[in-house]
């Protein structure tokens, strides 16, 4: 009985293995160009990037591939009601696919090519659309990046994207406000310009950065720190300075320039206590107070960051 049970189990495994091999042979056969095109259009419709990636034969490079995926994942909407109108295969194994689909409120042509790789039909680079977007703030470029769907992308650069409707946002988000909608197909390149403006939260976020900078300026030191808007006249009372201790009574209050190119933080109150040696050779400390402490500088936007530089 025990021997028979072992033989039966082994036999069952063999049958399952053969069945699995049959399934593998069936599903791995090269599909027709028509079937591959239909699979691609279904994936565009459902937002299934994994299926699209399996059909793509070209590698755009790590950064461009990541942008392609993240932008598509965050698209505002995908194609709907796709329809293949014609599939034409030439003698070199290249299939030209002519299709249509609804993108947003309008029906668009989707033309793309596929090639027979020997293992199946795969998409070539011709299936991607092109978008170029930038944000403008007071007649000048706002920054070096924009958000396209779920991707932070370089501004004023041709971006290769899958057909979809994308929301384009000024970057940094939360600091610059401004959006536009881009319908990207394969018909022709799309260009989008966003009219950006400082968001209501921008001043508070910049104030947080200035506060942190002011706190760093007020750290104990052996000399007056540069680029901190501080002047401590210790030389009027001391021959040699050993240390300076600061106490902030009020931090400077920030205001952003209308063109977001610079800032002024004014009205700060700071007390400095300088310790050292007097001209008579004695150890002494003197306290100085500034009621007009100010920090001023420039602003630039890089990636999803606002960078303040104090001058």
Q: Are residues 182 and 138 in the same domain?
A: yes
Q: What pLDDT band is residue 28 in, cutting at 50, 70 and 90?
A: very low
pLDDT at 6: 36
Residues 81 and 104 in one domain: yes
pLDDT of residue 206: 96
3-state helix, strand, coil in the chain (%, to 5): 25, 45, 30
Do both 209 and 186 map to the same domain?
no
Please check whether residues 175 and 251 belong to one and the same domain.
Answer: no
In this predicted model, what pLDDT tens digit does every residue of 60-105 receive, in sequence order?
899 999 999 999 999 999 999 999 999 999 988 899 999 999 999 9
Q: Looking at the domain assignment, is residue 83 inside a domain?
A: yes
Mean pLDDT of 265-294: 98
One domain for residues 139 and 217: no
Distance of CA 246 to the CA centre of its chain: 39
Question: If you count DSSP H runs as helices and E runs as strands, how many of each does the chain have, helices first?
Answer: 5, 19
Query: Which of these three, 183, 198, 213, is where a domain ends?
Result: 198
pLDDT at 57 (0 to 100) = 84
Asked if residue 107 lies in contact with residue 115, where contact means CB atoms within 8 angstroms, the answer is no
pLDDT at 3 over 60: no
Do 214 and 156 sit in the same domain of this protein? no
What's the CA gap between 52 and 46, in Å, rounded? Answer: 11
pTM above 0.85? no
Taking only the tens place, the pLDDT of each residue in 33-42 is: 999 999 999 9
Q: What is the pLDDT of residues 176-227, one digit of tens each?
A: 999 999 999 999 999 999 999 999 999 999 999 999 999 999 999 999 999 9
**Does one domain contain both 237 and 163?**
no
Domain end marker among 76, 98, 127:
127
> Last residue of a domain, which of 74, 109, 127?
127
The burial class, CB within 10 Å (0-12 / 13-18 / 19+), for 300 is middle
Q: How confident is the model at residue 266 (pLDDT cuts 50, 70, 90)?
A: very high
> Are 206 and 306 found together in one domain?
yes
Kindly state whether residues 302 and 240 are assigned to the same domain: yes
CATH of the domain at 171: 2.60.40
Q: Is the pLDDT of residue 4 over 70?
A: no
Q: What is the pLDDT of residue 22?
A: 40
165 inside domain: yes
The strand pair at 80-89 and 94-103 is best described as antiparallel
* Residue 244 confidence (pLDDT): 98
Q: Per residue in 141-190, pLDDT tens?
A: 999 999 999 999 999 999 999 999 999 999 999 999 999 999 999 999 99
Q: Which pLDDT value is given to residue 59?
A: 83
**Mean pLDDT of all residues in 243-259:** 97
Note down the domain range covering 150: 129-198
Residue 93: closest CA among 44, 148, 32, 144:
32
Residue with tokens 């190119």: 261
Q: Which 3 state secondary structure label does DSSP give 152? A: strand
Contact between 239 and 277 under an 8 Å Cβ cutoff? The reply is: yes
Query: Is the domain of 234 the same as that of 189?
Result: no
pLDDT band for position 270 (50/70/90)?
A: very high
The mean per-residue pLDDT over the stretch 28-47 comes to 86
Is 21 contained in some domain? no
| pLDDT tens per residue, range 94-139 | 999 999 999 999 999 999 999 998 888 999 878 999 999 999 999 8
Number of folded domains that form the chain: 3
% of the chain exceeding 90 in pLDDT:
83
- Identify the three-state secondary structure at position 102: strand
pLDDT band at 288 (very low <50, low <70, confident <90, very high): very high
Query: Is position 245 within any domain?
Result: yes
The separation between the first and the last C-alpha atoms of the chain, rounded to the nearest angstrom, is 91
- Distance of CA 308 to CAs 206, 264, 266, Å? 8, 11, 15
């Amino acid at each position: 009985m025990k021997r028979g049970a072992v033989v039966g189990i082994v036999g069952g495994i063999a049958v399952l293995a053969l069945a699995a091999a049959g399934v593998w042979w069936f599903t791995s056969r090269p599909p027709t160009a028509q079937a591959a095109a239909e699979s691609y259009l279904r994936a565009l419709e459902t937002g299934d990037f994994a299926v699209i990636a399996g059909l793509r034969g070209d590698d755009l490079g790590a950064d461009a591939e990541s942008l392609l995926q993240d932008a598509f994942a965050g698209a505002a909407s995908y194609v709907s009601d796709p329809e293949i109108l014609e599939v034409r295969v030439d003698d070199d194994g290249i299939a030209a696919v002519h299709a249509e689909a609804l993108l947003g409120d309008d029906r668009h042509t989707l033309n793309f090519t596929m090639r027979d790789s020997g293992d199946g039909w795969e998409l070539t680079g011709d299936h991607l659309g092109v978008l170029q977007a930038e944000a403008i703030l007071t007649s000048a470029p706002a920054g070096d990046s924009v958000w396209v769907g779920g991707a932070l992308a370089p501004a004023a650069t041709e971006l290769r994207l899958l057909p979809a409707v994308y929301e384009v946002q000024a970057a940094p988000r939360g600091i610059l406000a401004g959006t536009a909608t881009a319908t990207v197909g394969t018909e022709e390149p799309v260009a989008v310009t966003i009219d950006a403006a400082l968001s209501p939260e921008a001043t508070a976020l910049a104030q947080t950065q200035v506060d942190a900078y002011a706190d760093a300026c007020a750290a104990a030191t052996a000399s007056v720190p540069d680029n901190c808007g501080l002047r401590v006249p210790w030389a009027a009372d001391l021959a040699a300075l050993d240390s300076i201790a600061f106490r902030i009574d009020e931090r400077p209050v920030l205001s952003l320039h209308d063109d977001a190119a610079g800032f002024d933080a004014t009205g700060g109150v700071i007390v400095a206590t300088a310790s050292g040696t007097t001209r008579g050779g004695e150890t002494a400390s003197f306290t100085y107070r500034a009621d007009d402490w100010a920090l001023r500088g420039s602003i630039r936007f890089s990636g999803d960051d606002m960078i303040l530089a104090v001058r």
